[in-house]
Each structure stands twice: as structure tokens, then as C-alpha cells.
Amino acid sequence: MNKYLIIFILFFSIGCFGIGQFQKIFSLLQSATVEEELTPAADIELINPNLKCVNGSYIFEFAINNKLKFNLDSVILEVNSPSSISIASNLIIFNPYLGPSGVSGIISVPLIGSLNAGQNFCYVFRYETGGPTILEGCVAAPPCGPCASFEQNLSCVDGFYLYDLTILNNSLDTIKLLKFTPDDPNVAIGEGEPPFIQSNPYTHSVNIAPNSTSNEEYIVSGSGAAFPNYFNYTLTLYDVNGDSCTVRCEDPSLPIESAMKGIQFPECEATCERTKIHLSAN
């Protein structure tokens, strides 16, 4: 609003209506001025909004550029569509506050619910709950399945359990490291090659490119107690960026969705074939 017009109205109000009415008019003008400053959508700018797939779930990532003339301590993020998506908290707090012309770090908001690849996730930003929309938009969901697919087999070879695991890398990055953590502390796992050392947990370096398959062979052993009924464990896969994906090989008797179902340990006795001495007659 033009400052000269404001001055004219103020003096006119004092002369015609007295100081009490002037105070009311001044309050209305002040609130109108504040509303005018907060309304424009250019007050904040969203930088690189995108959906990131992590372990089969989506995370909404973005940064905020504060174009206001004062500090920004929080904003409200709301899901506009689809109705199948929600977030745990609408309040995004800047600590410390985001000053004028300041740019936040990357903000990551996990989404609760499911999206199909190519489906739009639409969002709305407000300064306060129920306030006017200051920014809105949509981003398309990328493909987001499990980070890997598996085939497995557990067999007995001369008193040892041989575990064959085929891994298909479904992610966009090369998998460099596997970490096995069997549920039973008495169960250990290791490479099926000399020196045949098993441990719990056990880490193994690999090189599985995106959309590629790796066939791994391990030996599973036990100590101090009988083997459990099923070979259940947690597998963490680390990519070249240091990001990880954790999957479960779960007891098949439990009503739980998991990447793999635990295989039952078969009977396994040594045949002593590996210790036989073959003598030749001269």
C-alpha cells in the first residue's frame, strides 16, 4: 500500500474520529500490511523436490530457500494427493532458524503408504495449519521395489551345511558388501572356500552391478547348542555410496512378509569320505 495514502488516512482519522477510532484503523492497516507480506508464493522456494526410494519405501527430499525479509522457524507440509499417502508429522522446524536468503540443508520426509511407479505425489506448504497455501506442486514416483531378490538352498555336505544364495541387484547402485547376522548366537556363517572361517555377524565383499546376479556359496556351522529349526537371519546390503538395505530371512511359520523364508536345517551327519586314505598297491 502507498505510504503517502497511509499517512493521509491516519491524519484524516485523527481529525474526524478522535484518537480511539484512529487506533482501530491503524490496527487494521497494520494487519493488512502483514497479510500482504505473507501471501505471495515467492516468499519461499523449493529446491530440487524429489522422491527417493530407500529399502522399498519412498522419502520426499527437498531444500528450502527463504526469500522472506525475516527469519523462518518452521513451515507446514501437507499431502495433497493421493489419499493413500500420509506423513508422520506435518511440522518442519528449522533449528537454528532459516534467515533471509538462507538455504536449508536437504530435508527428508518418509512417506507412509504406497505409490505406483509414475504416480504423482502432490504436496502443499503453509506457514501455519489451516493458513493459505504458499507453495504447492507434484513429483512423480520412480520405480521402488525391494533392493534385491533372492534364491536360496541349504544342503548337507559331509557334516557341513552348505548355503547357496543367489542375489539379483534391483537397485540403481552396485552392491559392494554383505553383512549376515544369524538370529541364533550359536550359528555362524562364512565363505565356502579356505580357510573356512565362520562368524556371527559375518561380512563379505562382493561386486554386484545393477540388474546383475551373483551366486554366493557359504558354510553354516554351529557351536555350544543344537541347531535351531530354521536358518533365520538379517542381511544388510551396502552399495558404493555407503547406503544400505536390510532384508530378513524370516521363520516361515510366522505371518510376516519378508524377502526370504528361513530354510529348515536338514539332518546332517559326516560320512567321513573326506578323511578316507586311499592306498595303492605296488
Let me know whether 133 and 224 are in one domain.
no
34: amino acid identity, one letter: V
Let me know whether 176 and 197 are in one domain.
yes
Distance CA(200)–CA(123), nearest Å, equals 44
Report how far Cα 143 is from the mean position of its chain's Cα atoms. 14
Residues spanned by the domain of 56: 42-140
Residue 282 maps to a domain: no
Q: Considering 140, 164, 197, which residue would you say is the last residue of a domain?
A: 140
Domain count, the chain: 2
Let me know whether 159 and 250 are in one domain.
yes
Distance CA(66)–CA(69), nearest Å, equals 8
Let me know whether 82 and 163 are in one domain.
no
Let me know whether 204 and 224 are in one domain.
yes
Let me know whether 224 and 172 are in one domain.
yes
Kindly give the confidence (pLDDT) of every residue in the chain, 282 residues in length, as a single tens digit, with 9 standing for 90 and above: 555 555 555 555 545 555 555 454 444 444 333 333 333 445 889 999 999 877 678 899 999 999 988 899 999 999 999 999 999 999 999 988 899 999 999 999 999 988 887 899 999 999 998 889 889 999 998 877 678 888 999 998 877 899 999 998 888 789 999 999 999 998 999 988 888 889 999 999 999 998 899 999 999 988 766 678 889 999 999 999 888 888 888 888 777 666 688 888 888 876 654 433 333 333
For residue 127, the domain's CATH number is 2.60.40.10
Residue 226 maps to a domain: yes
Q: Using the CB atoms, write b or e for 103-125: b if 16+ within 10 Å.
A: ebeebebebeeebeeeeebebbb
Residue 132 maps to a domain: yes
Residue 270 maps to a domain: no
